[in-house]
């Protein structure tokens, strides 16, 4: 049959974008689109948001194959009419950058792959007891002492570039600082904040070594968090509507070693944890963000969380 070349692409966006379009809370943005390719090569795209347009263009590009005989692309799918919308508002993956450092290029390559598959949330588990690669200018010793190597860090400009790369591809980046457990590495940089660091046998104090948790009845911890959040959260809020405060696998035995608590009784620890989370989440909200937590904050500790808090369930 004779060749038909693509004639033009007509794009119609029927709604207006807002600042929330590019850092949406789940369900804020209509990501649906329609795409038609006629037999004579006319392409029509219609969507309510620029995110929907982005998804439509991604689908359009995936209709084509590269010809083996030259720099040409062709499709066997015309004519075609597609109506598409996501089933779930949150479609994401997590990268554990604390245990396994990944280069900026690798993170951006992951964002590319997410965009191709119309995934929209990249969760960065960026610190843990294993390492602290995140540079916090107001707390410089965190990454200086806590990173695997001085070169294996994420500077403020690195973090901004990841966020910006994601925004332009319809992927919202969610940063996690896991606490009050999974944070023993701080002991290498700032003393008198952590209990049970590298305690053995580790099985009695954490899920995997090295152990270490915040001393929850310690005013110095609150001062530390104040400095940390005042530095970090204003750099996140222009690009994301969420911040993850962790909360998984907190071992009660850590607090039995804490000279300010000396108990592993959940009846003693739960009010301290509630106060801790209330403080952390007040800082998150003050920065215009909504908190994420791991499910144990509800299922194990029965904490009272705000209606804007997202509880993440881990299924293995």
Chain segment 73-93, per-residue pLDDT in tens? 889 988 999 999 999 999 999
Residue-wise pLDDT tens digits, 172-227: 999 999 999 999 999 999 999 999 999 999 999 999 999 999 999 999 999 999 99
CATH H-level superfamily of 8-84: Chitobiase/beta-hexosaminidase domain 2-like (3.30.379.10)
Distance CA 43, CA 58 (A): 13
Topology of domain 92-312, CATH: TIM Barrel (3.20.20)
The domain segmentation of the chain, as residue ranges, is 8-84, 92-312
1: pLDDT strictly greater than 60: no
Over residues 300-310, mean pLDDT: 97
Residue-wise pLDDT tens digits, 112-131: 999 999 999 999 999 999 99
- Neighbouring CB atoms inside 10 A of 228's CB total 20
Instruction: Give how far Cα 123 sits from Cα of 91, 156, 162, 293, Å.
Output: 11, 17, 12, 12
Over residues 85-112, mean pLDDT: 97
pLDDT range class, residue 10, cuts 50, 70, 90 = very high
> If phi over 0 gives left and psi between -120 and 50 gives alpha, with beta otherwise, what is residue 118?
left
Q: What is the mean pLDDT of the chain?
A: 96
Share of the chain above pLDDT 70, in %: 98
316: pLDDT strictly greater than 80: no
Three-state SS across 140-205?
CHHHHHHCCCCCCCECHHHHHHHHHHHHCCCCEEEEEECCCCCCHHHHHCCCCCEECCCCCCHHHC
Residue with the two structure tokens 């280069």: 103
Residue-wise pLDDT tens digits, 136-157: 999 999 999 999 999 999 999 9
pLDDT range class, residue 259, cuts 50, 70, 90 = very high
Mind telling me the catalytic residues?
A: 249
301: pLDDT strictly greater than 70: yes
């Amino acid at each position: 049959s004779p060749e038909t070349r693509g004639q033009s692409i007509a794009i119609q966006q029927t709604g207006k974008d807002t600042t929330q379009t590019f850092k949406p809370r789940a369900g804020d943005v209509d990501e649906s689109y329609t795409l038609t390719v006629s037999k004579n090569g006319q392409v029509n795209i219609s969507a309510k948001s620029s995110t929907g347009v982005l998804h439509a263009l991604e689908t359009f590009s995936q209709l084509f194959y590269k010809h083996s005989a030259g720099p040409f692309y062709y499709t066997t799918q015309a004519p075609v009419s597609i109506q598409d919308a996501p089933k779930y508002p949150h479609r994401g993956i997590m990268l554990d950058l604390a245990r396994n450092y990944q280069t900026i290029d690798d993170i951006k390559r992951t964002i590319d792959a997410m965009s191709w598959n119309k995934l929209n949330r990249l969760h960065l588990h960026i610190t843990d007891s294993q390492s602290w690669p995140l540079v916090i200018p107001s707390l410089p010793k965190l990454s200086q002492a806590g990173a695997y190597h001085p070169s294996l860090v994420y500077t403020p400009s690195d973090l901004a570039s990841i966020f910006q790369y994601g925004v332009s591809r319809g992927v919202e980046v969610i940063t996690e600082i896991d606490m009050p457990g999974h944070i023993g590495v701080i002991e290498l940089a700032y003393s008198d904040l952590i209990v049970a660091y590298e305690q053995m046998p580790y099985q009695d104090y954490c899920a995997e070594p090295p152990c270490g948790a915040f001393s929850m009845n310690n005013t110095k911890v609150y001062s530390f968090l104040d400095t940390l959040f005042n530095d970090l959260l204003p750099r996140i809020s222009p690009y994301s509507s969420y911040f993850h405060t962790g909360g998984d696998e907190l071992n009660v035995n850590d607090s039995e070693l804490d000279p300010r608590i000396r108990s592993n009784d959940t009846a003693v620890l739960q009010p301290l944890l509630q106060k801790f989370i209330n403080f952390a989440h007040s800082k998150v909200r003050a920065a215009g963000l909504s908190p994420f937590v791991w499910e144990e904050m509800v299922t194990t500790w029965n904490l009272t969380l705000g209606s804007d808090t997202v509880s993440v369930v881990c299924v293995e």
